[in-house]
Chains A and B, each alone.
Chain A
Amino acid sequence: GENVEQHPSTLSVQEGDSAVIKCTYSDSASNYFPWYKQELGKRPQLIIDIRSNVGEKKDQRIAVTLNKTAKHFSLHITETQPEDSAVYFCAGYLQKLVFGQGTRLTINP
């Protein structure tokens, strides 16, 4: 079945800098890759997603890139702000969603 690996597990950046989180997946047939943000004690919320027929997608300060050949996809957050501090999960879809282990992002003022 599908396996999704996420790196790094923790990430600390200065406010205003960029943050990048990378995920790799195992099954080339996977066709949908969402990213979720989860604040402490709350539900995961979708922040951006990408499908296998697209290489890049942007939404304001957030972007996701997909490299199907290498089987990896990345989340890019620019101009980070304190409210970006949270745990971020990537996932890959092949009959069901398989989640990465999560990245705890801390934005330092």
Chain B
Amino acid sequence: DGGITQSPKYLFRKEGQNVTLSCEQNLNHDAMYWYRQDPGQGLRLIYYSQIVNDFQKGDIAEGYSVSREKKESFPLTVTSAQKNPTAFYLCASGTSGGADTQYFGPGTRLTVL
């Protein structure tokens, strides 16, 4: 899982601002995922992409947007429409199309000021 990087590690946002979280992988994985983790809770799927130029909403997509222009990159934008964005955001990648191991990045902790 050292092949997945996320930046920044910590991010502070003022209310009303959009912010973009970076996720890059060099594992040659087709699939990439974004999860949100709140204290004491499990991981909830925001968006996922099985192939370049295609992505699907997960369980909590409202207030978020993504793009997948390159296989290696899957940035997540937290928009001002997301009312409670303070959380730990985890990016993951894996082989496409099936049940297989997902490898996680180190995460970005977003705090709204």
Contacts and interface: CB of A to CB of B under 8 A. Distances in A.
Interface of A: 6, 31-32, 34, 36, 42-46, 49, 51, 89, 93, 96-102
A44 B48 CA distance: 18
Given A31-B99, A43-B90, A96 B58 contact: yes
Q: Chain A's interface: helix, strand, loop or mixed, by majority?
A: strand
Interface in B7-33: 33
A44 B43 contact: yes
A44 B99 CA distance: 17
Q: Chain B's interface: helix, strand, loop or mixed, by majority?
A: loop
For chain B, the bracket of interface size reads 20 to 34
Contacts of B40: 102
A73 to B, nearest CB: 13
B99 A93 contact: yes
Given A43-B1, A44-B90, A101 B101 contact: no
B45 A96 contact: yes
Task: Name the residue in A32, A44, A93, A101 with the highest tally of chain B Cβ atoms < 10 Å from its Cβ.
Answer: A44
A96 B94 CA distance: 11
Contacts of A6: 42
A37 B48 CA distance: 22
25 contacts: A32-B98, A32-B100, A34-B101, A36-B104, A43-B104, A43-B106, A43-B107, A44-B90, A44-B104, A46-B101, A49-B101, A51-B99, A89-B42, A89-B43, A96-B48, A96-B58, A97-B33, A97-B45, A97-B102, A98-B45, A99-B42, A99-B43, A99-B44, A101-B42, A102-B42
B53 interface: no
A99 to B, nearest CB: 4
B84 interface: no
Contacts of B85: none
Contacts of B33: 97
Contacts of A93: 99
